[in-house]
Structures are given as C-alpha cells and as structure tokens.
Amino acid sequence: MAPNFEALSLIAEVALGIVGFSAILIGLNRSPAGLSEPDDFRIRLLSFSGFGALFAALLPFAAFDLENSHHAWRIVTWTLAFYALLGLLVFPRKMLFLRAKGYVTFFPFHIFAFQTGILSLVFVLSTFMIIDWIEEKALCYTVCLLLYLAQSSVAFFRTMFVRVTSDFD
C-alpha cells in the first residue's frame, strides 16, 4: 500500500514553513555575541526535526516509483529509523549537558521527556514497521512525520517565547 501523497505533500509544506520561519527568527534575533548555548540547541533540534519531517515526507515520492512497494517501504522506514536514532544519540545527551551546566529552568524535565519521547517513539514505530509488526505503514509513517512536526513546533515556540538565563547568573 502506498502512502497518502497528498498528506505527505502537506507535511512537507508545513515543515518547510517552520524551518523557514526559524531562519527568519535566527536572522532577526541574533545578538553580536551570537546565540546562547540553549538557543543554539533549540534551533538545532528545530532544524533536525523540521528537516527530518520535510525530507521524510519527500522520500516516498522517489521511493514509490520502484516496482515493488515492499522495497520502497524498506527504504523509507529504514531511513526514518536511522534518522531517529541519530537524534537519540545527540539531543538527549546535549539537553542533559545543558541542564547540568545550569539551564535546569530552561530545560525542565517535562520538556526533556517530551522531546526525547518523540524521538524514541519515532524510532520504535519505524523499527516496528521495519520488522512488520505494524501493517498500516502509511498511517504510521504519517504519524511519525506529524510527531516530528510537533517537536519542531515546540522547539520553535520555545525559541521565540521562552527566555531563561542560567541558574548560576
């Protein structure tokens, strides 16, 4: 079964919009000293999840030109799992590092759990699709991309509206 290409197109457009507005935000919000470590982290997370949703939404357009949809699903689910694993290797550790550096109020536990939970959930769901534990791959794949959009949206709004200094300042 092929994915819903209209939904994927819409997800790609929304992801592109979030990434584009974040670029504007970065350009307008930069101080001469550059971005703070927490802002840099949030923008990296926003970019990671925004571009992840964008490219994962576009990948099926190329993959499903193959003759066999089984191979196409293998390509897109393995790519999604690998990308989520990369995020799990980088972002939770960096967020814990920033918390240890004194930005506990900037990265409260519920934000850590939400952001890490999304990456974990995308990884688990994509792994289940790889091993065929999930039959509704098109729906599950779309849900994973929507999770990336939610993650990038939270990072975007926190970058815009949450200004917290180090607890040591």
DSSP-assigned states of every residue in 14-50 = HHHHHHHHHHHHHHHH--TT---HHHHHHHHHHHHHH
This prediction's pTM? 0.90
What was the pLDDT predicted at 132? 95
What was the pLDDT predicted at 133? 96
134 neighbors 140 (Cβ within 8 angstroms): yes
What was the pLDDT predicted at 139? 96
What was the pLDDT predicted at 121? 98
What was the pLDDT predicted at 66? 64
Instruction: Kindly list the distances between the CA atom of residue 123 and the CA atoms of 56, 84, 103, 119, 145, in Å, as whole numbers in the listed order.
Output: 13, 5, 27, 6, 11
Domain residue ranges of the chain, discontinuous segments joined by + = 5-161
What was the pLDDT predicted at 125? 98
Q: Report the candidate in 66, 46, 60 with the shortest Cα–Cα distance to residue 12.
A: 60
pLDDT in tens, the chain (169 residues): 789 999 999 999 999 999 888 788 777 766 666 778 888 898 899 999 999 999 999 999 999 976 788 899 999 999 999 999 999 999 999 999 999 999 998 889 999 999 999 999 999 999 999 999 999 999 999 999 999 999 999 988 887 888 755 444 4
In the chain, the largest separation of any two C-alpha atoms, in whole Å, equals 60
